[in-house]
Each structure stands twice: as C-alpha cells, then as structure tokens.
Structure 1
Amino acid sequence: MNLLPYIFVLLAGILWGTTGTTQTFLQEGISPIAVAGVRSAIGGGILLIAVLVMRRIHFKKWSWRWTILAALAIALFQCLFFTSIRFAGVAVGTVVTIGSSPVFSGIMEWVIFKRRPDRVWGMATLLAIIGCILLFANRGETEVHPFGILLALCAGMMFALYTNFSKRLTEREETLPSVAMTFTLCALFLLPFSGDGVSWVFEGQNFWPMLFMGIVSTSMAYIFYLTGLEKISSSSAVTLSLAEPLTAALLGVFLVGEYLSPISWIGVILLLGGIIVLTFGSGKAAKKTEKASSLE
C-alpha cells in the first residue's frame, strides 16, 4: 500500500493551513487579493527562475492550455473566496467553500472524466464535511448572506477545477515547472486587481511573513499537492486538502490563543476521521484492485 501520495497531499493541506496564522503578522488593512497576488508572485517566480536555470522548461512545447486554465482557476478561487468572506463571514464562507470543493470535484470526475468516486471517498468526504461544519460552528456568524454563499460555492468549484486541470497538466509536464508556470501566471492575473500594489511588502514586518507564504505555503505546498495528485484521484486529493482548516484551527488554538468549543473539537475529530478513512481505506482498495487484476 503506497501511502506516500496521500501523505504529500496532507502535507500540502497542513502548509496551506499556516497561511491564516502567518497573515496575523502582516500590517492591517492590506487587500487579501494583494496578499494572494504577491505570494503567488514570490512562490511562482522563485520556482520559475530555478527551472529556467536548470533548463527544465521548454516554452515551445509547453502545455499552455492546461497551464492557463489552472492559473485562471486558482486566481479566481482566491478572489471569490476572499470576497465571499466579506459578505458571508469567515466561518460561513470557509465552510461553504472548503466543504463544497470535494463534492464538485467528485461530480466533475464522474460527469466529465467518466470516473465514478468509490464508497470510501464518499464516506470520508461526508465525515470531513460534517467535521468542517462543526469546526466552524459557534463562531457568532448566524446571518446567512445569499450572495456570499453563492460566491463561496463558486470558489469551491474553482478549486475543484484547478485540481482537475492541474492533474491533466502534470500528466504532460513535470511537477516543479508546472507549479512555477501556473503561479507565475496566477500572479499576473491577480496583481492588476490588488489595489495596494507591492510596495507594502517592504514596509514594517511584512516582508518575512510574505516570504514564508510565498516559499512554504505556496511553492512547497503546491509541489507536494501536485506530486501526490499524480498518483491519486482529483476527488481524493480535494477531500484530503481539508487538512487545511484543521491545521488553521489547531494553530489558532495553540499559537494565537483562540478558543474552540466542545462542538468544534468534535468537528476536529470527524475531520481527522475522514482523512484517516480516505488515506488508509483508499490504499487498501487500491491494493485489492491490484491483487484482483494480477489474478486475472
């Protein structure tokens, strides 16, 4: 049973989960889209320089269609997600976005790519989504804003699209240049709409948190994610990425001093349960399939 791809995707989710805590070290009032654009520029730009030096990218033969689609999807995801939070609040926007992503990904695999998700994925996804809802319960945001919910659903769909597009991209290109090209293009799409420019990066203590988000929670995280994505289904990868809110919540408790209610701790347990079920259940299912095919 090869657990390594699942571990890579989990590591990606854990690194993404550090973003919220890291942003608390930035000066207040900076546009979230500006933060997203700059972290994409740092993460993608550093990797692009590296792959150019190593001569691991060939622009004439590059899979531009899948790269542009992946870059557009992840850029739209960030814009829609941050905007949904402004309308629906952090808790509701996060739950709807992150909770809907695995569902959208499973539907896309089934309808577009003719690959039906299995029962293990369904059970794990249900546990993880319920856990995510309970994790963000009792955050004091009871008002439901329909437009904010719609934006959050669109954000969830964009992340699912990004995952499926990236899987097609990594079937044709290496992981490192794929991440470099996708996030360099993503930065080019986002920065014109950031409003705050980039000069704020060098003000106060903003530089080091942004460098961390660019290198660790963007470059390293997406390298892990796409490396794991090469060996597992898109729907499984999106479900495992629910390690992000789990990590963010635990960091908030142990580093920032936030409070989690007993219901939220139940959500933590269910999220962990969903991740464990998917990681070990899918591995066993794959092993059985391999055994059955060898017997044939």
Structure 2
Amino acid sequence: MSQQLRGSLYLLGAAFLWGTTFVAQMTGMDELGPYGYSAARYVVGLAAILVVWYAFRGARAKAKAAGTYHSGWRYGVGSGLFMFTASILQQVGMTGTTAGKAAFITSLYIVLVPIGAVLLGKRIRKENWAGAAIAVAGLYLLSMHGSFSLAYGDALELIGSFFWAGQILFIDRFAAHVDAIELSVSQIAVCAVGSIALALGFETVTMTALAHSWIPIAFGGICSSAIAFTLQIFGQKYADPAPAAILMSFEAVFGALSGCLVLGEILTARETAGCLLMLAGAIVTQAGLFFSATPQPPSQRGEGPKGGGSPLHDE
C-alpha cells in the first residue's frame, strides 16, 4: 500500500469517527454543560490513549536504541492548545446554533488550511484550490438549510475553525518527525486539563449527570478523542495539509450517513448532491498524485526536529 493511500485511509477513518461522534456531542449536553462534557470526554480519551502508549513501549525502546526516536511530548502541548481552544469553541457554539450550520462553519478550515500553508511558505497546487472550492460548495448543500445568518453560536464556530486550521497545520509540520502517540497523549492531556479547569470554574458537574451521560462520554472520549485524533496524526505523516483538510471534512458526510442508518433520517436530493460534490472535491485535490512520478516523502514536507520519528512510522 502506498504512503499516500495509507494516509488517506487514516484521515478518512478519523473523519468517520468524528462524524459519528457529532450526535454524541449534542446528546452529551442533555444533562452536562459544554465544559463538563468536554472534561469527561477528554479524561476518558486520555485514559484510552495512555493504554496505547504503554502497549507500544517496546517499539519506543527499539527506536531509542536505533537512534530514530524523537519525543513528541512538547509538540503535543502546542497542538493541544490549538485543539483545546477549537474544541471548546465548537462545544459551546453548539448550544447556540443548528447541527448543520455548526458542521458547515467548522469545516471552513478546508479553505483556511491552504491559505495558512501559503502564508507559511508552502506551495499549494491548483487542483488543491479547485478541490477545496468544490468541497465547500458540496458542504453548503449538505449542511445548510434555509437562510444563513450569523448568530452567537455561529460566530464561536467560525472562530473555532481558525483554530482547527492551526491544529492541522501544526500537526503537518511535526507529525512525520516525532513520536505520534506521545504527541497524541500530550495534546489530549492539554484538552483534559483545560476542560476540567473550565468545568470546575463555571459549571456544577454531578455524578448523576455523568452517570446518565456515560454513553456519549465514552463514545466521544474513546472514538473521537483517543482514536480519531491519533489517526489524524498518522494520516498527516503522508498527506499535505490542503488535501488532508478536505478528507477530514468528510466528517460532515459521515455524520449525515450515520443519521440515515442510525436515526432513520433520509437524505434529500440536495444533500445527496452535496455529498457527491464533496467526493468530487476530494478526487480533484488528489489529481496531482496521478501525474507525479516522484511523490515527495513525508520527511521532506516540513522542518520538524531532526533525529527521527515515531516508532510506528513506516518508512
């Protein structure tokens, strides 16, 4: 399996888990506030990813012995600050907007990521810009219904989309150069600590509410926080940021499809057209790979720390 295909599958896996977790994020606030749900979710996610970190201690020891290991702890703090800010803005914003508008506004990182990459000195291919435009049009058809007006919750989602873009660009710069699992543990720990502080300072969290919300907490913590964000890190080892953002935005498509399968919702012709346009955008942005005789290896995509990468990084 090629590195590009492997990375795309990792990112689509992350998008699938994020999309199916969207309902859990909403139902988790039936009895908990946004900070309380986020705190519980990230604590569960941290516990889950620590199990994975411990399980791969042998691989890290071999990497250290071979001189290819480079710690991901401090880089995870950087990405964690972006991720914490974005996720809190998203969670609070959900209390003041519709699910469709939240999905659309959040996923505007499809456009923000290539713009940010250009500002950081990276060259974005024409097909990436074209694919992003097509995907945004598809996302609008899929998510937006009725007139568009920017309410308070929408504004929070919009600000959050800039931080999601920052998190994606941060991961792009360092994912191929450090221990990916350590980076994931570190960024989730930042989110857990920050969410706990906000919950203790601004909300009253009861054991009864936590017990009644254990399903959305467990699903959001394990599937979205621990697994999906780790898949994102591994996926971005092999994918440039612009196409990676489009693949991750498929969380909106998977969210709509899960609504059909789990909740019995029916996709309208407009929504189906939106899904197809997003698929077309993803195909367009990957077009350059079919004409590139020598794909750029992940190690040359950024200037991360020298001295090796993750013990699970396939060269």
TM range (shorter): 0.7 to 0.9
Q: Per the alignment, in what secondary structure is the counterpart of residue 18 of structure 1?
A: helix
Match of 1:115 in 2: 122
The residue aligned with 1:170 is 175
CA 1:74–1:28 in 2, change beyond 3 Å: closer, same or farther? same
CA contact (8 A) 2:26 2:94 kept: no
Q: CA deviation at 1:259?
A: 3.5
Q: TM-score, normalised by structure 1?
A: 0.84
* Pair 1:145 & 2:147 matched: no
Shift of residue 42 of structure 1? 1.5
**Residue number among 234, 241, 244 corresponding to 1:237 in the alignment:** 244
SS at match of 2:149: coil
Aligned-pair CA distance for 1:15 = 1.0
Q: 2:7 aligns with which of 2, 5, 8?
A: 5
**How many percent identity over aligned positions?**
21
Gaps in structure 2 of 5+ consecutive residues: 65-69, 297-315
Contact kept, 8 Å, 2:79 with 2:171, in 1: the verdict is yes
Question: Residues 32 and 210 of structure 2 are in contact (CA less than 8 Å); yes or no, is this contact kept in structure 1?
Answer: no
Which residue of structure 2 aligns with residue 101 of structure 1?
Answer: 109
Q: Cα distance 1:257–1:69, how it changes in 2: closer, same or farther (>3 A)?
A: same
1:137 and 1:264 in contact (8 A); partners too: no
Aligned to 1:183: 188
Q: CA deviation at 1:47?
A: 1.9
Q: What's the CA shift string for 1:172-203, capped at 9, x where partnerless?
A: 42111111111011110112213243735652
Instruction: Tell me if 1:41 matches 2:77.
Output: no
SS at match of 2:205: coil
- Larger mean CA deviation between 181-190 and 42-51 belongs to 42-51
Shift of 1:148: 4.0
State the shift of 1:27 in Å: 7.2
Aligned position for 1:283: 289
Residue 130 in structure 1 maps to residue 137 in structure 2: yes
| Residues in 2 aligned to 1:64 and 1:181: alpha-carbon distance in whole angstroms | 5
Alignment of 1:251-290 (within 5 A): 251-279=258-286, 281-287=287-293
Structure 1 residues 149-164: aligned runs within 5 Å: 149-164=154-169
1:84 aligns with 2:93: yes
Question: Which 10-residue stretch deviates more, 7-16 or 159-168?
Answer: 159-168
Cα displacement (A) at 1:208: 3.6
In 1, the alpha carbon distance for the partners of 2:244 and 2:293 equals 18
- For 2:180 and 2:222, the matched residues in 1 are separated by 15
Between the aligned partners of 1:92 and 1:26, the Cα distance in structure 2 is 19
Tell me: CA distance 1:156–1:27, structure 2 relative to 1, closer, same or farther (3 Å). Answer: closer
Counterpart residue number, 1:70: 79
The 3 A distance-change label for structure 1 pair 143 and 120 is: closer
- Paired residue for 2:222? 215
Q: Which runs of 5+ in 1 are unaligned?
A: 291-296
* Stretches of 4+ aligned residues off by more than 6 angstroms: none
After superposition, give the CA deviation of every residue in 1:8-50 in whole Å (9 maximum; x if it has no partner): 1111101111112345665723223322222222122332354
RMSD across aligned positions (CA): 2.6
Tell me the number of residue pairs that the alignment of Structure 1 and Structure 2 aligns.
282
C-alpha distance 284-146 of structure 1, shift in aligned 2 (>3 A): same
C-alpha separation between the residues in 2 aligned to 1:93 and 1:25? 15
Tell me the TM-score normalised to structure 2 length. 0.79
The Cα shift of 1:147 comes to: 4.3
